[in-house]
Structure 1
């Protein structure tokens, strides 16, 4: 029987590449996004998160799903990034986890970023991991007042907190204890709408690669990440648990050397 996968952020970028790849392999994919998706939901809001679960119930008719690909995210220096990247992702994992019950080989994968290795805001990370959305959004508002400096810390902070959340929960009873491998993919610079303006010129691309060095083949296409996501969410992955896998052309190695965490 064909696997059933849910991909958030499925309308563009890594999400679309993942959806297309899984479909080319014969899987049924339920795409979630703000538009052009089977389930239209705004994961920055409580209503949108509720709509995600309700939409899944309507489409599935009590059938289980086999894999969750929690990919939806934004990279603006605004509180919306806080709401979508962290709380929207957790709502996806926690809201859809019951749908994995009954699947023979359930899997879940989260898309973080190598930006978690860049400068972050300790207070925002603390509030995110505490699960205090109101306070985290308020902190985001403060940081967003200067988009070029403090605002630039928001994205990496959400991704760092997300990676840490997975590390803290993946081996617990709701995930590993229930036979569900939960892991993280952390991309480097990927050629998506999110980065299009930054890499539109040779000068811009070179400047970005100085910040995010990618000695192995440079900027990647979305399908590169999709292939890794597909394996992590597939039947073959039986024992990876809570790992943050950098698909970044070597950025992690260049920036952290031989540090493994």
Structure 2
């Protein structure tokens, strides 16, 4: 158990990376307020304004008004409109809505989960709506993409994760985050073995196709506990200076895809 118990909010805490992260934090003696659609401390739908508002109110109540770490993990990869709503707007509502509670911590930290899919093709109209338009406009474009079938609809996922990663980069150095002493960062996982990806890796054909789309030369797909380890460190006291970093924990996908074009 840690010498000083910290209070963490983890969205998506009922499954996958969020569940692994919540379990790891609790095993270290930390206080965790889990948020998800079911089987956790706060049951809300982060695709809705009502759900987001309820989350903030309930976290404020359960935490006593002070939160040390916010981990915006909740997300979807399905080719549906809800993916746009939760991956981008749900994450921003979590980070921005709980930021006032972080400012009352002696060592506040915030982390989001992007994806290596942020390197995959994005829809320009949807990305523009995320960055410069309204949620209504973004969801209208997502509806069009989803209506074109799953192969087209998948771009909702990659676009939402790119928009989230860009938001982290833009906002982390700002007075509201860095200026308030809050390190804000993200991780960008490769293929993680969770219920969300079970169908993709169930067959040899699926695994082969996935490897072509997401090259992971260092060990291939991995369990959610690998991502959880990094999330826990980023949201811990030890991380005092990382700011606006999107850390690709992807078995080498970023290095293969982008090479030395970024550093």
Q: TM-score, normalised on structure 2?
A: 0.97
Residue 29 (structure 2) pairs with residue 26 (structure 1): yes
1:234-253 superposed Cα distances (whole Å, 9 cap, x missing partner)? 10111100001000000011
Moved more, 204-213 or 155-164: 204-213
Task: Find the aligned partners of 1:167 and 1:29 in 2 and give their Cα distance.
Answer: 26
List aligned pairs for 1:53-132, cutoff 5 A. 53-62=56-65, 64-132=66-134
Task: Find the aligned partners of 1:155 and 1:13 in 2 and give their Cα distance.
Answer: 17
| C-alpha displacement of 1:131 | 4.6
Residue 155 (structure 2) pairs with residue 153 (structure 1): yes
**Cα root mean square deviation, aligned:** 1.0
List aligned pairs for 1:1-261, cutoff 5 A. 1-62=4-65, 64-260=66-262
Give the secondary structure class of the aligned counterpart of 1:246. strand
Task: Find the aligned partners of 2:34 and 2:254 in 1 and give their Cα distance.
Answer: 30
Change in 2 beyond 3 A, CA 1:228/1:38: same
The total of aligned residue pairs comes to 260
Task: Find the aligned partners of 1:211 and 1:158 in 2 and give their Cα distance.
Answer: 18
Give the secondary structure class of the aligned counterpart of 1:104. coil
Alignment gaps of 5+ in structure 2 = none
Change in 2 beyond 3 A, CA 1:49/1:109: same
Moved more, 199-208 or 223-232: 199-208
Moved more, 144-153 or 51-60: 144-153
Give the secondary structure class of the aligned counterpart of 2:150. coil
Greater than 2 Å deviation, 4+ residue runs: 147-150
Give the secondary structure class of the aligned counterpart of 1:103. coil
| C-alpha displacement of 1:205 | 1.4
Q: TM-score, normalised on structure 1?
A: 0.97
Task: Find the aligned partners of 2:181 and 2:63 in 1 and give their Cα distance.
Answer: 21
| C-alpha displacement of 1:76 | 1.3
| C-alpha displacement of 1:259 | 1.7
Task: Find the aligned partners of 1:221 and 1:51 in 2 and give their Cα distance.
Answer: 31
1:87-112 superposed Cα distances (whole Å, 9 cap, x missing partner)? 01000001111111221110000000
Task: Find the aligned partners of 1:136 and 1:122 in 2 and give their Cα distance.
Answer: 11
